[in-house]
Amino acid sequence: MNGRDSSVPIEDAPRSVSEPFSARVGPDAPEGAGLPVAYMQRTRAYYLALGYDNPYRWSHYRDVPFAALRKPLAESSVALVTTAAPYRPELGDQGPGAAYNGAAKFFEVYSAPAGPEAPPDVRISHVSYDRTHTTAKDPRTWFPLERLHEAQGARRIGRVAPRFHGLPTNRSQRTTLDQDCPALLRRVHEDEADAAILVAN
Amino acid sequence: MCHQSVSLAARYLEEHGIATAVLGCARDIVEHCGVPRFVFSDFPLGNAAGRPFDEDSQRLTLDLALGLLESARTPRTTVQSPLAWSEDPGWKADFCDLSRIPRSEVAARRSDFEAQKERAREVSR
């Protein structure tokens, strides 16, 4: 998988390097520079502005389940779960920089081959990613299948599970819990995966 | 919604014996829900698996997740990526910045949102 949209000239790619945050820290750092964005608060204000006066109730649990790996990671099968959607040309612009495209949204769990030989084209035009500060030109930023295959090659994991799985993003927590989660679990079991990496957008 | 859906799914898989790690950029949503293992990247939404065209960044992010699968001993274990999106944290101010949305666009956004909700209702019936 080359991970690059063919319409994007390589010279346009950001020349970023991996280095820790080192600038504008210390006493001169801007207020809030190190704090994560308060997405729940911002979203509440946004929908109030659209005219909704019943704030969304985000999912919250006190207790959190925990399943330890049942065998070493180097012997485990790891599944990839994404909220990205398969590219469907008939559904309008889903390319880098596309405006929000609700038509590309999907409502049922899907699965597709995760082998290295046929990289899937999955996109995120149907979700509210940050369109101001990122362009969605490199799918590897939301779909790390290529990296996962590298991990298999390096024997960091036993193998990449034979399929990856698409998870709908539904406002209804009930739909996610009652329909989507069981469908996802069934597919993970069918593939005999031991662990899953889930990537949000 | 992405972060919430993924968090709910991680919880469900764990309840059924599948170890999980969530990659995300919205720390508040994931931790409010509560997941077993979480790699937080303080990046704009859409880059939970690393920076664009920066394979080292993508490799590091996945490796943090794999490390969590091996090393976490308790739920609600969060690891924050040491990477920053840019030297200027100004990008954090722009998400859902109401001053950027033209008044003329509000009705269109509301209409689109209603259409999404109706479609979701149909699926749930």
pLDDT-derived band at B28 (thresholds 50, 70, 90) equals: very high
Question: What is the per-residue pLDDT for B6?
Answer: 98
ipTM of the complex: 0.88
Q: State residue A20's pLDDT score.
A: 39
Could A130 and B95 be called an inter-chain contact, meaning their C-beta atoms sit closer than 8 Å? yes
pLDDT digits over A118-143, tens only?
A: 789 999 988 888 888 888 999 999 99
- B45:A130 CB<8 A: yes
Q: What pTM did the predictor assign?
A: 0.86
Instruction: Tell me the pLDDT of chain A averaged across its residues.
Output: 85
Chain A residue numbers with beta carbons less than 8 Å from the beta carbon of B123 are 107-108, 170, 175, 179
- List C-alpha distances in Å: A26 to A32, A56, A112, B43, B98: 12, 37, 47, 20, 30
Contacts of A147 in chain B (CB under 8 A): 49-50, 55, 58-59, 61-62
Q: Which residues of B touch A185 (CB under 8 A)?
A: 12-13, 16, 18
Which tens digits make up the pLDDT trace of A76-129? 999 999 999 999 999 988 989 888 888 889 999 999 999 998 789 999 988 888
Three-state DSSP state, A42 = helix
Residue B124 pLDDT class (50, 70, 90 cuts): low
Q: Tell if the CB–CB gap between B58 and A144 is shorter than 8 Å.
A: yes
The minimal CB distance from B49 to the residues A32, A137, A144 is found for A144
Helix axes B2-15, A181-190, angle to 10 degrees: 50
**Contact between chains at B123 and A83 (C-beta distance less than 8 A):** no
Q: Compute the radius of gyration of chain A from its Cα atoms.
A: 19
pLDDT exceeds 80 at position B48 = yes
